[in-house]
Amino acid sequence: MRVVVAPDKFRGTASAIVAVDAIASGLPPTATAFCVPMSDGGEGLLDVFGGPNRFTEVDGPLGDSVAAGWRFDGRRAVIEMARASGLALVDGPDGNDAVAASTYGTGELITAAIETGARSIVVGVGGSATTDGGLGALRAMIPARLRGIDLTVACDVELRFVDAAEHFAPQKGASPAEVALLRRRLERLVDVYRETYGVDVADLVGGGAAGGLAGGLAAVGATLISGFDLVAEHVGLDELLDAADLVVTGEGHLDMESFNGKVVGGMLDAAEGADVPALVVVGDADDDAADHLARHFDAELISLTQRFGAERALAHTADCIRSAVESVVARRTLRP
C-alpha cells in the first residue's frame, strides 16, 4: 500500500507537520507513506520549504514589535505574511483592530530579503489580520528596489481585491460599519494604484488575498499564483500520485471555501486526476461542504468532532487523527 500523506494544518490545534506524523502513525506497518505537509500559501508555507532560518524585528499588525521568521537559501527568500501581519499575533478577532491593522511588517520583511541579497521572493498570504489593500507593505518598501527581483505572491483564495472586505474582514473582527468603511478604502486604493503604478488590480484573480495585500504587491510588479500549485510543484505531487494507492489529506474545518484554492480541494482534484481514492480527515465539516465532497469526489470524509466529540477533538487532535486513520484504513478496500 502506497499512501500520499498530504494534509494542511488543523488551525489552532495541529500544524501540517504534526498532522502528517499523526496520519502516518495510523497507517498499517506494511504501508509506504510519502509524507508531504501541504500549504495553500498561508500558515505552514515556510514549513514546506524547510522552516525559517532568519528572524527580523518588524512591526506587527497593530504596531507592536514582532520577531518574524522567514527563509533565505542564498538566492530565494520565502516569507509568510502571517508571521508579520497575522491574526494570531493579536490573539484573534477579539484582539484585533480590523481598520487599523496594517501589513507594514510584511513590507519590512520584503525589504530585509532584498537587503540580504534575495533575487527571488515568495510571499505566502493567508491568516492575515489586515484589510489594508497592501498599502502598509508598500509604505515600508521602496518599490524601485524591486527592479530585477522576481516577486511572487502565493495566494490561498481567488477573491477579487475589493471583495476582501465583505468576505473576510468580519472574521478579523470588523463590524458591519467597519466592513463598509474597508470596502470604500479598497475601492479608493484601486484608483490610487492605477494612477500611481499604472496597474488595475480590481479584477486580478487572487488580488483580495490577505485583505488585498496580494493586489497591492501586484501593483508594484508581483505575480500572483495559486499557493497550492506552488507547493504541489515544489513537493513533486504529480510524481507521488503516479505511484499511489491512496491519498490522505485534511484540515481543521471543511467548508465550501475548502474547494476554492485551498489544500483539501486541490488534493481532491489532483487525486481525481490521477484516479486515486482519497480519505479526508477534518476537525469538523459544514453540511454543504460534506455533501459537495460526497457528490463530486471518490473520497471518504471523517469528522473528528462527530467521531470523538468536540472537546476531545480539540484537546487531542493528533491522537484523534491517528486513531481515525487507523480504523478507516484497516477496513478500506484499496484499488490494486
pLDDT digits (tens, 9 = 90+) for 190-233: 999 999 999 999 999 999 999 999 999 999 999 999 999 999 99
| Predicted local confidence at residue 332, as pLDDT | 61
Domain 2-36+236-331 has CATH 3.30.390.10: no
Residue with cell 483539501: 264
- Ranges for all domains in the chain classified under CATH 3.90.1510.10: 45-228
Residues 166, 208: Cα–Cα separation, whole Å: 11
| Predicted local confidence at residue 335, as pLDDT | 44
The alpha carbon dihedral of 296, 241, 124, 204 has a sign of negative
- Ranges for all domains in the chain classified under CATH 3.40.50.10350: 2-36+236-331
| Predicted local confidence at residue 76, as pLDDT | 96
In 3D space, the residue among 150, 103, 142, 95 whose CA is nearest the CA of residue 126 turns out to be 103
In 3D space, the residue among 128, 134, 129 whose CA is nearest the CA of residue 99 turns out to be 129
Please say whether the beta carbons of 234 and 226 come within 8 A.
no
| Predicted local confidence at residue 336, as pLDDT | 44
Please say whether the beta carbons of 24 and 321 come within 8 A.
no
Which of the following CATH numbers is that of domain 45-228: 3.40.710.10, 3.30.450.20, 3.40.50.970, 3.90.1510.10? 3.90.1510.10
Query: For the chain, which ranges sit under pLDDT 50?
Result: 333-336
In 3D space, the residue among 152, 171, 12 whose CA is nearest the CA of residue 76 turns out to be 152
| Predicted local confidence at residue 333, as pLDDT | 47
- DSSP element (H, E) containing 281: strand 278-285
Termini Cα distance of the chain: 9
Give the model confidence (pLDDT) of 63-109 as tens digits.
999 999 999 998 999 999 999 999 999 999 999 999 999 999 999 99
Residues 75, 153: Cα–Cα separation, whole Å: 17
| Predicted local confidence at residue 334, as pLDDT | 45
Question: 79 is written with which cell numbers?
Answer: 516569507
Question: 40 is written with which cell numbers?
Answer: 495553500
Give the HSE-up count for residue 184: Cα atoms under 13 Å, Cβ half-sphere. Answer: 7
Residues 325, 315: Cα–Cα separation, whole Å: 18
In 3D space, the residue among 163, 200, 197 whose CA is nearest the CA of residue 182 turns out to be 163
| Predicted local confidence at residue 305, as pLDDT | 97
